[in-house]
Structure 1
């Protein structure tokens, strides 16, 4: 190539042949100020607006721009369609994926295609990446379109919903990095999570809101904690680091109100009961709003553990509710929404929220010390992973020769941050599976160290 560059410079003055990179090429194209035919438009991490040329008919809206419009004169009820998918608990992570999660994601994507107003919140990236890896290019394009239009939304973005009391902060940062890196590389900035989703750990520590604030999240969602005060506030998590983040506590766990779990078409909305069911649902929402200071914005979680295997029954029943609310309740604006959109709506109120600087962690304290061998194995495996990372750099190992080992070790250590893994709150068969995973991660890290 050097000979080519030299010859071109000597004999072809009309040509500028040079070494380059994709970044430099895009910078050069951007500098032309040429008008291109528009398709799906997004903003790249380095600040240039370019055409993705992926699909026709993409709205180009994502993130906060894809949110439905709130009505300041009405009670805005945000229906948050979600499924909480434990990365191991009563079953192993593999068991849950095979029995439930692959079906959940597949059916949710099918249902989102049917109606542009539908939205779904995806959380655990461990499961989503497994599902993504076996999809065809055609299905991947469908998902990219849903993400680009703000209909499939990633919240939290970590490999798991990590524990807050027994997981090491190093592991927490790594598992968040693993998930966020996959999202960014696969979908770009459009998909970047803006809100946390710590809805099932056994207590809420000061460390997590501090970490989320440092990671650039706009808001923090929590659920469990001893004597946790319901409401919304600014969590002053670390005065040394000046990390503050807006926080909302879920009203009643992360499930829908009793009688509105539509899995397998249970509690279905019919012509005979729709008026009563919607009226009762709105009454619950009004009470929630009153409890949280009458902000006129209410977050209603429409999901639970491993829900949406029958995604059609959820969306069909919610649409009957939406139709009824629109027809008979002019004081209400009920809509499909996401945690992003709820936070955006609250921010638009320009209200001042009180600050708190306490944690809510001492909850089910037995998990701090149970299954000590598993906790010890987790720490030792993480030590090996960190050593392998550093030695691979110092020894300048070819990533092509180490990536498979590093990926394996990173995956298994990240899985262990899950709030039913490092805590030891799963049955013996699942704990044995976690042990096997850590052994595999340890062996993978050891191979990298040997190569170094």
Structure 2
């Protein structure tokens, strides 16, 4: 048990199982499974509930059962009722998934009830499946947050119940499409299998005939068999067979088996059930069938369910005496998996993913790739900040588990498939944001506490740090009101980092000094009109932005000093030139050039000056009109949160061919052009000094709906790169997947939506490669978005959506987000454009995507002494490691895991065959950290809930005998050296001793 978890439970007055006697050693896991009867068709009845961690109601409302008028659902009553009914019959079994809810319920229970639940877990009668804090989305989630949210759930289960509660099967029954990287992560967590309920309706139809609803998913070509995962598609989603829903929320008749009553219906019920079993048996390869008996928020009256299931089992199994070969049993997904593994047959394989998903014609669930873009960005930024928070908890030796948990809980909850996905009601979206805000506040208190221990050289108290959470819209009260202040940045990367910062200020006269007290070149620009009109910054008094370059050591901080400049002739202010109509112009920083057309003012050509590679590059903002249907038929399907369905597949240009209003700014830090495409769409195209890529900051909103038409806004980059309809998107920020228009690798698709059906999730990047030249055009994003390459040379990204019709997938309201002023929400984001040879482009997008995600954390304080005195009193620069990590290695996790123990994950960020940096790399942990001496490594599975040496996954025979080569690496238990192969993540619990001199 980690000290981390124990502290959380003690805080909430929870008695952990350290105080619960285990009694005799009980068998659990596969050894406790009922495998059915040989030569019979064994129907594994899986009693379950699917409890969304927020959707139509907030997490709290779902747990307590509030707001019944919205949805009749109360999770606490489900768990109360199920435990009571499991005790009535030792044959009954039940699975539970969402640990965010179970954890709440557990800490409310008495000691005697905890003993009861412990026994049910040990006997396999209550089994935890998946085990994450939630059932996360797979399209819009970043791999770092996926790992973190599962680690939290796993650690809670391990701390309470021990090994018997370790999940063996992933259960992704409700997410809307399934990611190859997600499957790879599950395999690395030690899961033996994965089951889900949603796949494209045509994909399912094509799998039924050849009995390929179950397969071995070869999820990562870089990792070999260690990433293979048995995967099954549940034919009936996750619902019971028609006519056999026995929940209070259902209208199906119960089983009435008293022959004295007129409503006796056993014979017809049995016949209908056996017909369903026979129908489903044609789709599977073994004599074992898995039937889900439950659905959303069911079992609040578990007696109704179990009483009828008992009858169903009794009456069908009684027919065996008359020759029936059907055998019903209470089971779990893991026991079903173990049963079919024992069948020892050969399975088909799959090497691609399950995106996009459509549940019927004209109904592609590709809208949620972009829905609620501001929330998607908030989740991404919060995940990055969580890394900093954990780092400084370690380096400050705070052991502040309660504050860490607040952020961990909020961030993990936000990964739910109706959270970051943007498919929740508006009030629930507000609740997710509120939780992230509270978690952010908790982590900011950790940074303050850590800095007070780490930064002072003397007994002088380090001043409280001020944080600015709205810098993305150029609003920061600290920088706007203080005449002189410090800026401290913490770098969570294992490599040194250099970039530029923009701070909103109310004056155009400043000087900046670096950590070495030497002046730094700066530039001051006005805040553009598009930013000024954002209603959320109405209290801002800033009219300018102060720009300068920062350099921060790996895993370290640096302090900069900003002071008002009394020199009236400040030369840092930029000149702004209004481009006249018909005048061509260019941005050129010596590394990149961007030329703009003299007639339209639009982007025209993009060039890499170092590699001498150029391409025509036109750019425009356009919108699709969302289909205004009422969902009475597939042809009447509306576009909304889940579904993207344009009224017309040809989008409308927002600029409509008009000459763009452009302002050119050039200075000693950045060159930029500000362009107005319409009153509600603007952008700034920037080239910073010394950077070999372009930054495009877009601002979209308020999207007009005066014409009663919902709109879906895209940006399109139209280049001269000949990619012939092939493009590449990332899976959760890691593997790159090849996509091709109007094509699916495993079945001949009927493409009834040529735009929406060709959209894919873009978590961090998309690129296209020229078929005839060594040239690649790459676009990196700052949040998850949907996009595609619909024509040769094109890449389009959906940025924002405002719609007026519900899409009939449960939410019951249109996606019409409003700002504080009551008008449509304004959203701002960034794209990063890079053009180069293929190998160099790969190195760029692998490293730059990590840097975009793990941006430094900024904090400010009043500068109340001369910088020289500050430098004598406080450290102005510090790094936690002896030397930066190799360029292909990322420190994915660094977290307290008990006294003198750390949880550390290292990852290789490249795939195989991506150039010199794709080779295996070795890192020594022995003396890596300056404050610590590492004395012992204990390697764990990815979720940190099992020693890797104790992992023994089920083996499967595969149809094509194809196997990716295993990762070649060194895993010595006697060494403190860690060798990483491409795409490998290695997880360790590290024991350390402190050095005397830490700071």
What TM-score comes out, normalization by structure 2 length? Answer: 0.39
The secondary structure found in structure 2 opposite 1:405 is: helix
Distance 1:79 1:85 in 2: 19
- Number of the residue aligned with 1:284: 276
Distance 1:53 1:168 in 2: 40
- Number of the residue aligned with 1:339: 333
Unmatched tracts of structure 2, length 5 or more: 1-19, 66-73, 208-212, 258-263, 358-364, 451-999
Distance 1:348 1:441 in 2: 46
The secondary structure found in structure 2 opposite 1:374 is: helix
Instruction: Please show how residues 247-266 of structure 1 align to structure 2 within 5 Å.
Output: 247-264=231-248, 266=251
* Larger proportion of helix: 1
For the 8 Å contact 1:199–1:222, the answer to whether it is kept is: yes
- Are 1:95 and 2:61 matched, yes or no? yes
Return 131-140 or 388-397, whichever deviates more: 388-397
Residues 228/198 of structure 1: CA separation in 2 closer, same or farther (3 Å cut): farther
For the 8 Å contact 2:36–2:329, the answer to whether it is kept is: no
Distance 1:441 1:361 in 2: 32
Q: Give the Å deviation of 1:296.
A: 0.6
Unmatched tracts of structure 1, length 5 or more: 1-51
> Greater relative contact order: 1 or 2 (C-alpha under 8 angstroms, separation 6 or more)?
1
Residues 124/228 of structure 1: CA separation in 2 closer, same or farther (3 Å cut): farther
Which digits, 9 at most, give the CA deviation of each residue in 1:106-144, with x for residues without a partner? 100000001000000000000000000110000000000
- Are 1:228 and 2:219 matched, yes or no? no
- Number of the residue aligned with 1:24: none
Distance 1:107 1:79 in 2: 19
Distance 1:279 1:141 in 2: 41
Instruction: Please show how residues 383-394 of structure 1 align to structure 2 within 5 Å.
Output: 383-394=384-395
For the 8 Å contact 2:196–2:237, the answer to whether it is kept is: no
- Are 1:54 and 2:22 matched, yes or no? yes
2:303 to 297, 300, 312: 312
Distance 2:158 2:177 in 1: 29
Distance 2:283 2:413 in 1: 36
For the 8 Å contact 2:270–2:312, the answer to whether it is kept is: yes
Distance 1:126 1:276 in 2: 41
What TM-score comes out, normalization by structure 1 length? Answer: 0.85
1:63 to 13, 24, 29: 29
Return 72-81 or 263-272, whichever deviates more: 263-272
Instruction: Please show how residues 22-421 of structure 1 align to structure 2 within 5 Å.
Output: 53-55=21-23, 60-99=26-65, 100-226=74-200, 227-229=202-204, 230=207, 231-242=213-224, 243-264=227-248, 266=251, 267-271=253-257, 272-293=264-285, 295-329=286-320, 330-363=324-357, 364-397=365-398, 399=399, 402-421=400-419
Distance 2:142 2:49 in 1: 26
The secondary structure found in structure 1 opposite 2:175 is: coil
The secondary structure found in structure 1 opposite 2:42 is: strand
Distance 1:219 1:285 in 2: 23
Give the length in aligned residue pairs: 395
Q: Give the Å deviation of 1:275.
A: 2.0
The secondary structure found in structure 2 opposite 1:425 is: coil
Distance 2:21 2:448 in 1: 44
The secondary structure found in structure 2 opposite 1:153 is: strand
Distance 1:228 1:159 in 2: 30
The secondary structure found in structure 1 opposite 2:347 is: coil
Q: Give the Å deviation of 1:53.
A: 4.3
Distance 2:355 2:104 in 1: 32
Distance 2:160 2:307 in 1: 30
Which digits, 9 at most, give the CA deviation of each residue in 1:143-196, with x for residues without a partner? 000000000000000000000000111110000000011111111111110000
- Number of the residue aligned with 2:585: none
Which digits, 9 at most, give the CA deviation of each residue in 1:20-59, with x for residues without a partner? xxxxxxxxxxxxxxxxxxxxxxxxxxxxxxxx8435xx78
Distance 1:154 1:367 in 2: 29
Q: Give the Å deviation of 1:301.
A: 0.2
For the 8 Å contact 1:274–1:320, the answer to whether it is kept is: no
Distance 1:68 1:278 in 2: 23
- Number of the residue aligned with 2:459: none
For the 8 Å contact 1:275–1:324, the answer to whether it is kept is: no
The secondary structure found in structure 1 opposite 2:216 is: strand
For the 8 Å contact 2:382–2:436, the answer to whether it is kept is: yes
- Number of the residue aligned with 1:436: 434
Give structure 1 regions of 4+ aligned residues with deviation exceeding 6 angstroms: none
The secondary structure found in structure 1 opposite 2:170 is: coil
